[in-house]
Amino acid sequence: MTELRGCGTAIVTPFLADGSIDEKSLCSLVAWQIESGIDFLVPCGTTGETPTLTHDEWRRVIETTVEVAAGRVPIVAGATSNCTAEAVQKASEVSRIKGVDAILSASPYYNKPTQEGQYQHFKAIAEAVDKPIVLYNVPGRTGVNLEPATLQRLSLLPNIAAVKEASGVIGQIAGICALLPEFTVLSGDDALTLPVISVGGVGVISVASNAFPREMAEMTRAALDGDWRRARELNNKFLALMQAHFLESNPIPVKAVLAMMGRIEENYRLPMCRMQPALRTKLEAIARAAGVVK
C-alpha cells in the first residue's frame, strides 16, 4: 500500500466567473504544490467543494490532478456519499483511474448512522475496491463521530489504510494512536498537526497548505524528524492564519487567500459564497502578517 506520511493538500477546486471549473488554475495549483515540496495531494475532498460538482466534474478534477502530478506524488481521491451504494460506486470508479493511489471517504453525512452503520458502510467500500482507503472522521460536517472502537474493527480490513482525524478531540486521537500504534493517523486540523504527531500521528491532510505548501510541508517534516524547535517556530508563525481559514466555512477563507495571492479567481458555488467584508479584511490582515499575501 502507498505510504501516506507528511503533509498532503486537500486542494481547492477553482471556478471561473460563469461557475465552470477553471482547469488552467487547477493545473497551475497542482504544479505549484508539487514544486513546493508537498508530500501528497487530495482532490475532491470537502475543501474541493465536491458536493457541488457533477459526477463528470468530480471525475475530471481527479483526472486533471493525476495528469499534472504525473506520478511525482501520491494522489488520494475523495469519494464520499451518504448513500452506501453510491459511495461504493464512486470508490470503484475512481479506483480504476490510473494514477490514483488511495481513496478518501468520509462518514455518511446527515443520515447520522450508528457505529455499526458506519462500520458496515466502510466495510462495503473496502470490499469493493483494491486501493487503500483513508477514512475521514469529521463530526462537525457529518454529525457523527467515528469512535476508536469502530476504527479498531475497521483497521482489521486489509485495505483500510489510514484515518484523517478531524474530530478536534486530541484525547480521542491520542487514544487511537495508543490503541492502534501501527495504524496511519493523519491530522484533519492544521492547528493540531504538531499535537497529533506528538502522540503518534504521521502527518496532516491540510487546508492551509493550499496557500503556503512549502512551509506546511517543512513544519510537518520537521516534527516527524524530531526537530521540534523548527516545527514550533513555523507553527507559531502561521498558527493565526491556520485558524483564520475557519473564520467562515471551509473552503471560503482559503480560496479568498489564494485569490489575494493571485493564484485563483475568487469564485464559489452556492451554497458557498464570498466572505463577509469585515471578516475578509481581518483574514487579509492575518495573511499579510504571516507573509503569505504581499
Structure-block grid coordinates of residue 128 = 469493493
**Residue closest to 44 by CA, chosen among 94, 4, 79, 1:** 79
**Catalytically annotated residue among 90, 119, 131, 164:** 164
Structure-block grid coordinates of residue 81 = 456519499
Structure-block grid coordinates of residue 105 = 471517504
Which CA distances in Å does 99 have to 12, 130, 163, 257? Answer: 19, 14, 21, 29
Whether 164 is catalytic? yes
Distance between CA atoms of residues 84 and 90, nearest Å: 10
Contacts of 31 (CB under 8 A, 6+ apart): 68
Give Cα 214 to chain centroid, integer Å: 16
Distance between CA atoms of residues 109 and 2, nearest Å: 27
**Residue closest to 125 by CA, chosen among 165, 164, 94:** 94
Whether 119 is catalytic? no
8 A C-beta contact, residue 167 and residue 145: yes
Beta bridge partners of 10: 42
Contacts of 244 (CB under 8 A, 6+ apart): 253, 282, 283, 286, 287
8 A C-beta contact, residue 252 and residue 274: yes
**Residue closest to 124 by CA, chosen among 97, 163, 162, 159:** 159
Distance between CA atoms of residues 47 and 204, nearest Å: 14
**Catalytically annotated residue among 136, 237, 268, 282:** 136
Catalytic positions are 136, 164
